[in-house]
């Protein structure tokens, strides 16, 4: 008998893996009924991770958002699931046990069915309380493996975590392939072993597109017995996000699995809404690099969602690094040059740091160390000259046991700085705090909320919660958005002024979305087209790559290139201004 495969839409993670922000409550409420009408999702990811923190950054109350967002799915019989980081809860650093325990009670009351709990280090001790607290609250406990690829991350290694999680009472197992670097055959073997050891356990697979393994991985885990597959939808699928539900459904159907039908009219309606959200404001924070897949991610193992963070980091230090290189008589580097150096450095430092799976927050820690190393090496200095406190906590064992041994040089640096290694249970190092936050709320006259939901949010994200209550967060977000809009407006105004004030100035705009190359034979040469170059009507200015085809961008006029607004290799949207031509 054919096996049924069900789908979960990773809706908010689609946005989180693309840019800084996720849709606001009004947008979530707008798209929820359309997602339901698609008729192909048995589950949907609704909250947790960084998503609720983003609500606070908007000035929105996450408690209201979660209740309003989960309600239509609850009513439609679609299960909802949240993502939480075990010891770190739904923030980036450790959470006291009493705050963790309250989290599950609050989220269950708000309509969340499943707690997807992962430890970034795969330390089963951090999962134990997550499983216990989730089940006590009446939630389904989904113990989650942080998947990565190395000599020590074998089927036996992962099964050791699964065995412990099941002994703690986990209901389900999720394979969280956050960087998409899990090798398909190994993942299939892992699912087979899970099903062989625990035949009735539900297995769910979550794999980012990143380096391109995930489609093959989805087929392998389905054949091995997986029950649910996480998918995305356009215009955010693929790139660094997740494969699209349409492709995965067709692949699995062809392989003989029973899969749900998709209401394509609703799919297109949801796609249109997603694009509207991008056009309204979310697109201002979506880095074009996140629309791309990259085989470079195979080696460094970083999650695709880190691309936006890395590009922001590199853009911030690019000018300073190049100035230092020029001052010392060296050739300046492009952003792509720096990106490759950073990838290579991550690949170098990762094993020396004990092979922590590169998932939030440990991906950030490893990336930060690698970035500082690159900067110091380019200055002629040594590696490891700056390691931040959070990274040291990871190295010293305060977040859990590292999968592999530390390199001797790291141990020597720790000893030289009088660092002490922690061998206890990580949770024991963080005393309870709810009473402290409850007292402060009473003093401020703040309501602790239904089921103490406001108390939970305050204790989990105290600084952001204060900013939300004081109105500072909404003001800050509004100013940030207006600043970005003004930059775009100034650029457009400059173009229009030049065009309107001088009839000899003509525009070249992108005919559609894609990646712009000025010369295919010189993909890494940013100087192949320059201001002042002569052009003739019908002459090719460059190529636009989209959906694996290339279309020529040509000039309709004779003249000279007066100004170029995009760089070689940039991603452009339809109607983006590419260049101005001064006609002769």
At 106, which CATH number?
3.20.20.70
- Closest by Cα among 523, 517, 575, 508 to 550: 517
Domain assignment of residue 240, yes or no: yes
Q: Helix, strand, coil shares of the chain as percentages rounded to 5? A: 50, 15, 35
Q: Which segment, 111-125, 317-331, 386-400, is predicted with the most confidence on average? A: 111-125
Res 311 pLDDT > 70: no
Tokens found for residue 52: 């609720």
Whether 342 and 405 map to the same domain: the answer is yes
Q: Contact, 496 vs 582, CB < 8 A?
A: no
Domain assignment of residue 335, yes or no: yes
- Name which residue leads in pLDDT, 472 or 303: 472
Whether 174 and 43 map to the same domain: the answer is yes
Give all strands of the β-sheet with 540-546 in edge-to-edge order: 549-554, 540-546, 514-517, 571-572
- Name which residue leads in pLDDT, 303 or 183: 183
Q: Give the model confidence (pLDDT) of 348-357 as tens digits.
A: 999 999 999 8
Whether 164 and 269 map to the same domain: the answer is yes
Mean pLDDT (the chain) is 89
Res 488 pLDDT > 70: no
Whether 548 and 450 map to the same domain: the answer is no
- Name which residue leads in pLDDT, 569 or 115: 115
Res 304 pLDDT > 80: no
Bond from prior residue into 181 cis (ω within 30 degrees of 0): no
Whether 215 and 324 map to the same domain: the answer is no
Domain assignment of residue 246, yes or no: yes
- Closest by Cα among 565, 561, 562 to 509: 565
Q: Contact, 216 vs 177, CB < 8 A?
A: no
Res 455 pLDDT > 60: yes
Residue finishing a domain among 404, 428, 452: 428
User: Which alpha helices (DSSP H) does 421-509 contain, by range?
Assistant: 434-444, 453-460, 462-470, 472-501
- Closest by Cα among 492, 508, 475 to 582: 508
Write the DSSP symbol of residue 426: G
Domain span holding position 207: 6-291
Tokens found for residue 535: 């052009």
CA atoms within 13 A on the CB side of 112: 28
Domain assignment of residue 438, yes or no: yes
User: CA 152 → CA 156, 158, 160, 298, 405, distances in Å?
Assistant: 9, 10, 12, 16, 10
Residue finishing a domain among 291, 307, 322: 291
Tokens found for residue 181: 């670097």
Q: Contact, 311 vs 271, CB < 8 A?
A: no
φ/ψ (deg, to 5) at 114? -125, 135
Q: Contact, 301 vs 353, CB < 8 A?
A: no
Q: Give the model confidence (pLDDT) of 391-443 as tens digits.
A: 999 999 999 999 999 999 999 999 999 999 999 999 999 999 999 999 999 99
| Structural domain count of the chain | 5
Task: Decide: helix, strand or coil at residue 105.
Answer: helix
Domain assignment of residue 286, yes or no: yes
**Averaged pLDDT for residues 366-386:** 87
Q: Is the CA virtual torsion 41, 46, 48, 49 positive or negative? A: positive
Domain assignment of residue 1, yes or no: no
What is the CATH number for 526? 2.40.50.100
Domain assignment of residue 91, yes or no: yes
Give all strands of the β-sheet with 505-509 in edge-to-edge order: 505-509, 577-583, 559-564, 534-535
Whether 114 and 64 map to the same domain: the answer is yes
Whether 203 and 73 map to the same domain: the answer is yes
Tokens found for residue 525: 């040469």
**Averaged pLDDT for residues 239-245:** 93
User: How far is Cα 448 from Cα 454, in angstroms, rounded to an integer?
Assistant: 5
**Averaged pLDDT for residues 119-138:** 97
Angle made by CA atoms 272, 16, 110, in degrees to the nearest 5? 90
CA atoms within 13 A on the CB side of 91: 18
Whether 114 and 263 map to the same domain: the answer is yes
Domain assignment of residue 569, yes or no: yes
Whether 275 and 335 map to the same domain: the answer is no
Q: Give the model confidence (pLDDT) of 527-582 as tens digits.
A: 567 787 888 887 777 877 754 456 778 888 888 888 888 877 777 776 778 888 88
- pLDDT reported for residue 495: 57
Residue finishing a domain among 291, 315, 338: 291
- Of 121-125, 189-193, 312-316, the least confident: 312-316
- pLDDT reported for residue 99: 98
- Pairing mode of beta strands 41-48, 79-84: parallel
Whether 225 and 328 map to the same domain: the answer is no
Whether 193 and 306 map to the same domain: the answer is no
Task: Decide: helix, strand or coil at residue 255.
Answer: coil
- Name which residue leads in pLDDT, 283 or 197: 197
Task: Decide: helix, strand or coil at residue 341.
Answer: helix
Q: Give the model confidence (pLDDT) of 50-109 as tens digits.
A: 889 999 999 999 999 999 999 999 999 999 999 999 999 999 889 999 999 999 999 999
Res 203 pLDDT > 60: yes
- pLDDT reported for residue 491: 62
What element of type H or E holds 34? helix 25-38
Whether 53 and 201 map to the same domain: the answer is yes
Tokens found for residue 413: 């640096």
Placement of tokens 């958005």 in the chain? 481
């Amino acid at each position: 008998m054919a096996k049924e495969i069900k789908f979960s839409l990773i809706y908010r993670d689609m946005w989180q893996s693309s840019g800084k922000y996720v849709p606001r409550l009004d947008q979530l409420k707008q798209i929820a009924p359309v997602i339901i009408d698609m008729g192909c999702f048995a589950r949907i990811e609704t909250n947790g991770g960084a998503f609720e923190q983003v609500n606070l950054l908007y000035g929105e109350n996450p408690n209201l958002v979660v209740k309003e967002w989960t309600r239509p799915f609850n009513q439609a019989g679609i299960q909802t699931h949240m993502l939480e980081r075990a010891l770190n809860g739904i923030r980036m650093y450790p959470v006291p046990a009493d705050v963790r325990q309250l989290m599950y009670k609050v989220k269950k009351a708000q309509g969340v069915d499943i707690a997807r709990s992962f430890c970034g280090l795969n330390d089963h001790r951090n999962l134990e309380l997550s499983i216990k607290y989730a089940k006590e609250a009446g939630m389904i406990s989904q113990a989650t493996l942080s998947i990565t690829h190395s000599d020590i991350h074998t089927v036996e290694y992962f099964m050791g975590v699964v065995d412990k999680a099941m002994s703690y009472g986990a209901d389900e197992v999720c394979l969280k392939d956050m960087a998409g670097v899990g090798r398909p055959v190994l993942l299939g073997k892992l699912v087979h072993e899970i099903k062989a050891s625990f035949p009735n356990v539900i297995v769910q697979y979550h794999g980012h597109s990143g380096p391109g393994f995930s489609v093959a991985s989805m087929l392998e885990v389905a054949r091995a017995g997986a029950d649910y597959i996480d998918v995305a939808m356009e215009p955010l699928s693929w790139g660094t996000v997740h494969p699209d539900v349409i492709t995965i459904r067709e692949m699995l159907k062809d392989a003989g699995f029973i899969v749900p039908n998709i209401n394509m009219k609703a799919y297109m309606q949801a796609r249109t809404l997603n694009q509207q959200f991008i056009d309204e404001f979310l697109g201002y924070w979506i880095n074009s690099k996140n629309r791309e897949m990259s085989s470079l991610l195979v080696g460094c193992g970083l999650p695709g969602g880190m691309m936006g963070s890395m590009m922001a980091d590199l853009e911030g230090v690019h000018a300073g690094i190049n100035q230092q290189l020029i001052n010392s008589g060296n050739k300046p580097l492009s952003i792509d040059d720096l990106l490759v150096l950073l990838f290579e450095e991550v690949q170098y430092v990762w094993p020396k740091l004990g092979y922590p799976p590169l998932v939030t927050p440990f991906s950030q820690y490893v990336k930060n160390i690698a970035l500082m190393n690159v900067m110091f090496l380019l200055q002629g200095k040594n590696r490891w000259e700056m390691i931040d406190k959070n990274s040291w906590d990871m190295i010293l064992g305060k977040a859990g046991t590292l999968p592999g041994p530390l390199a001797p040089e790291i141990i020597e640096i720790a000893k030289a700085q009088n660092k002490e290694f922690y061998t206890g249970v990580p949770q024991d190092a963080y005393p309870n705090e709810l009473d402290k936050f409850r007292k402060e709320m009473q003093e401020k006259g703040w309501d602790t909320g239904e089921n103490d939901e406001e108390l939970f949010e305050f204790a989990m994200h105290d600084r952001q919660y204060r900013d939300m209550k004081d109105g500072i967060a909404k003001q800050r977000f509004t100013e940030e958005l207006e600043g970005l809009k003004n930059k775009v407006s100034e650029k457009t105004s400059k173009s229009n002024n030049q065009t309107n004030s001088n009839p000899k100035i003509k525009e070249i705009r992108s005919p559609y979305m894609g990646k712009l190359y000025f010369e295919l034979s010189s993909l890494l040469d940013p100087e192949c087209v320059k201001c002042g170059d002569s052009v003739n009507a019908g002459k090719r200015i460059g190529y636009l790559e989209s959906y694996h085809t290339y279309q020529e961008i040509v000039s309709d006029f004779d003249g000279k290139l007066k100004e170029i607004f995009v760089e070689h290799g940039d991603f452009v949207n339809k109607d983006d201004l590419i260049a101005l031509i001064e006609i002769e």
